[in-house]
Structure 1
Amino acid sequence: MLFRLLSAKFCALLLLLFPFVISAQQAQEGALLKPVQIAPHTYFVQGLPEIGSSNNQNFISNSGFVITPNGVVVIDALGSPVLARKLIAEIHKITDKKIVAVVLTHYHADHIYGLQEFKKVGAKIYAQYLAKNYLTSDTAQQRLIASRTNFAPWINNQTHLVKADVWINRNYQFKVGGIEFLITHVGPAHTPEDLMVYVPSENVLFAGDLVFRGRIPFVGNADSRGWLNALNTIQNIDPNIIIPGHGAYSIDPQHDIEFTRSYLSFLRESMAPAAQNLDSFDDAYSRVNWSEYEGMPLFRAANRMNAYNVYLSIQEE
C-alpha cells in the first residue's frame, strides 16, 4: 500500500516537473479520431486546427467515407499511416463492408500519407492526373524526407508516396452499391489537381481544401483567382452539406464558404496594388489591417506566407 502511494506521488511529481511526459503519452494514444455521421450513409473525421507535429500524428486534415451495400468509399487518406489505420479500424466498427475505393481531393501531404494503409486492404485509389507532376517532383521527395523527421515516429522510412490506380483527366463518375459519386476537377485552385466529390443521394459535397472552416486557410502556391471561381462552382451545386478539407462540416454551405472567399478576396485586394506596382511586399503587408483574422488558429504560421504567395501570383497574372 505504501509503495503504491509513494509511486502515485512520484508519478505526480514527474508530471509536474516534466510536462513532456504528458505529451509523450498523448503521442502514444494519438489524437481523437472518431467518425461523425452527417447523412444516412456518410461519416467524417475532423482534423485539428494545428500545424502537423509528432504529438498530433499529422492529424490536421479531414477525411470522410460513404458506406454502400457493396463497399465503403473513402475521401482523402489523412496525414500518416497510423491515422489511416485508426480510420480503417473505426470504419470496421461501423460496417463489415470492405473499403473498395479512396478518392483524393489533392496530393498535399496531410491528405496522402495514409494511402499505403488503404492499399493494404485492397482499396483502389482515384486522383486527378496532374498530381503525377507532384509525385515525381523534388518537392514531394524533400517534403517526405522532412516529414520523416518532423513527424517521427509516425512517418518514417517505411512511409512512402503512393500513386493512384485510376488517374482522372476529366470530370468522372462511378457507382458503388447503387450510390453515385460525381467527381469534378476544379483546379487550378488550391492546387492544380483539385477534385471535389459530390454524392447526390446524400446531398453531400466533399470539397477538399477549397473550403476551410475555423482556421486560416493554407494558400501555398495556389491560384487564388481560380480558387474563387471554384467556390462559385460549389455554390452552383448547392449541396445540403459540405465537408471541407479542414474544419467542421457545414449544414449552411452558402454561408460557410463565404469565409474562404472573403479571406482570399481580402488577400488579393490587399496585395494587388503593391504587386502591380512592384512595390515592397514588406511595406504592403505592414500597412494592412489584419484584425479580422489575426485571432484565428494558424494566423501566425500561415498568413504572412499566404499574403506573399498571393503577391507573387498577382505579378504573374
Structure 2
Amino acid sequence: MSKNFASHADLEEKAVSFDRLSDNAYAYTAEGDPNTGIVIGDDAVMVIDTQATPVMAQDVIRRIREVTDKPIRHVVLSHYHAVRVLGASGYAPEQIIASEDTRDLIVERGEADMASEIGRFPRLFRAVESVPGLTWPTITFRGTMTMWLGSLEVQLLQLGRGHSKGDTVVWLPQQKILFSGDLVEYGATPYCGDAYFTHWPATLDAIAALKPEKLVPGRGAALTTPEQVEEGLRGTRAFTSELFELVKQGVAAGKDLRTIYKDTYAGLKPKFGHWVIFDHCMPFNVTRAYDEATQYPDPRIWTAERDLEMWRQLEG
C-alpha cells in the first residue's frame, strides 16, 4: 500500500486542554483527538463520551477531581463508535444513557466496529486490554430526554441523523451550551463512514436553531463564542456537503469508485487538507458517500477486513 493504513502513522501524543465553559460545563479536548464533555450538577457529574479505554478515562477523571468531588453518576453516549464509548466502565457510573438507535447499532455492529476502530487507530486505544467488552446503555430514549441534575436542566436531543443514525446532542438550555458529538467538528475532518449525507445539513440547521453560545465539538477546540460556533457549523456543513456533491457528480458521470475518490480528494485537499485526520478519513468518507449516492441508503457495516480491502482499493 502506498500509505500507512489509516492512522498507523499517527503516533504523536496530543496535548490535553480542560476548559471551563461555565460553573457547570467543561470540555476535555486534545488537539483533534476525540473530545469528552463534563456537566457538573448540584450533586452529581455527567460525562459525555468516555474516551476509548478505561485507562484513558482516568485522565478525564483526574481533571474532574481538580474541580469537584461530586460522584460521576451519569455517562451519555453521543453515538456508538468504539472510540467514544469503550472507556465507560472506567467511571463506574450508575447510568449509561444512549438513544435507542445507538443501542440498536451496538447490537447490530458493535463487535465489528470495535475490531475495526482498534485496527485503524491504535494510538487512540491506549491500554486496550483494559476494555472489558462492549459498552451497553442501561437507559435508552427516543427523540428527547430531560434530566435534572439538581437545579440544572440537561436535555438529551436527537435532532436528526448525520454522523450516524443514533446521534445525540446534550443541551444546557439555561446556559446555551451544547455538546454536539461528531455532528460538528472544528479544524478536524468529519469522519463520514457511517454518515447520512442527505440528512446532515438539516441536522446542522436544527443545532443552529437552538442558538448555542458555546459548543463542544466531537473533535477540535471548544467553541466559546457564538461566532466560533457559527464557524464550526459552517465548516462542518461545507466539508460534508461539498464532498457529497463531488461524489454525486462522479456517479452521474459514470466514474468508478477509485476515480471518484481521487477526484474528490483532489477537490477537497486545498480547502480542508490541513484539518486533522484528513488523509485518514477520506477513503472511508468517499466510500460511504458513493454507497449513499448509488444503492445503500443505510451505512454498511465496517469490519477490519473490509477496512483493509477498501484501503488497498483506493490507496494501494
Bucket of the pairwise TM-score, normalised by the shorter protein: 0.7 to 0.9
- Report the CA distance between 1:31 and its aligned residue: 5.3
- Report the CA distance between 1:246 and its aligned residue: 0.5
- Provide the TM-score with structure 2 as the length reference: 0.80
Q: Match of 1:197?
A: 170
1: distance between equivalents of 2:14 and 2:262? Answer: 36
- Provide the TM-score with structure 1 as the length reference: 0.80
Instruction: State which of 137, 141, 149 in structure 1 corresponds to 2:111.
Output: 141
Instruction: State which of 231, 234, 244 in structure 2 corresponds to 1:268.
Output: 244
Q: 1:305 to 1:158 in 2, by over 3 A?
A: closer
Structure whose CA Rg is larger:
1
- Report the CA distance between 1:93 and its aligned residue: 2.0
**Aligned-residue CA RMSD (Å):** 2.2
Q: How does 1:188-227 map to 2 (within 5 A)?
A: 188-227=161-200
- Report the CA distance between 1:34 and its aligned residue: 4.5
2: distance between equivalents of 1:147 and 1:293? Answer: 23
SS of match in other structure, 1:270: helix
Instruction: State which of 210, 221, 233 in structure 1 corresponds to 2:206.
Output: 233
Q: 1:231 to 1:185 in 2, by over 3 A?
A: same
1: distance between equivalents of 2:61 and 2:185? Answer: 24
The amino acid across from 1:46 in the alignment is T
Q: How does 1:52-71 map to 2 (within 5 A)?
A: 60-71=33-44
Instruction: State which of 36, 44, 51 in structure 1 corresponds to 2:19.
Output: 36
2: distance between equivalents of 1:223 and 1:158? Answer: 29
Identity across matched positions, percent? 23
Instruction: State which of 274, 289, 314 in structure 2 corresponds to 1:310.
Output: 289
The answer to which structure, 1 or 2, has the higher relative contact order (CA under 8 A, 6+ apart) is 2
- Report the CA distance between 1:69 and its aligned residue: 1.4
Moved more, 217-226 or 250-259: 250-259
Q: Match of 1:161?
A: 134
Q: Match of 2:305?
A: none
Moved more, 178-187 or 279-288: 279-288
The amino acid across from 2:19 in the alignment is V
SS of match in other structure, 1:130: helix
Contact 1:33 1:46 in 2 (8 A): yes
Provide structure 1 residue ranges, at least 5 long, that are not aligned to the other structure. Answer: 1-25, 50-59
SS of match in other structure, 2:73: strand
- Report the CA distance between 1:277 and its aligned residue: 4.9
- Report the CA distance between 1:230 and its aligned residue: 0.7
Q: Match of 1:296?
A: 275
Moved more, 293-302 or 102-111: 293-302
Contact 1:215 1:297 in 2 (8 A): yes
SS of match in other structure, 1:211: coil
Contact 1:147 1:155 in 2 (8 A): no
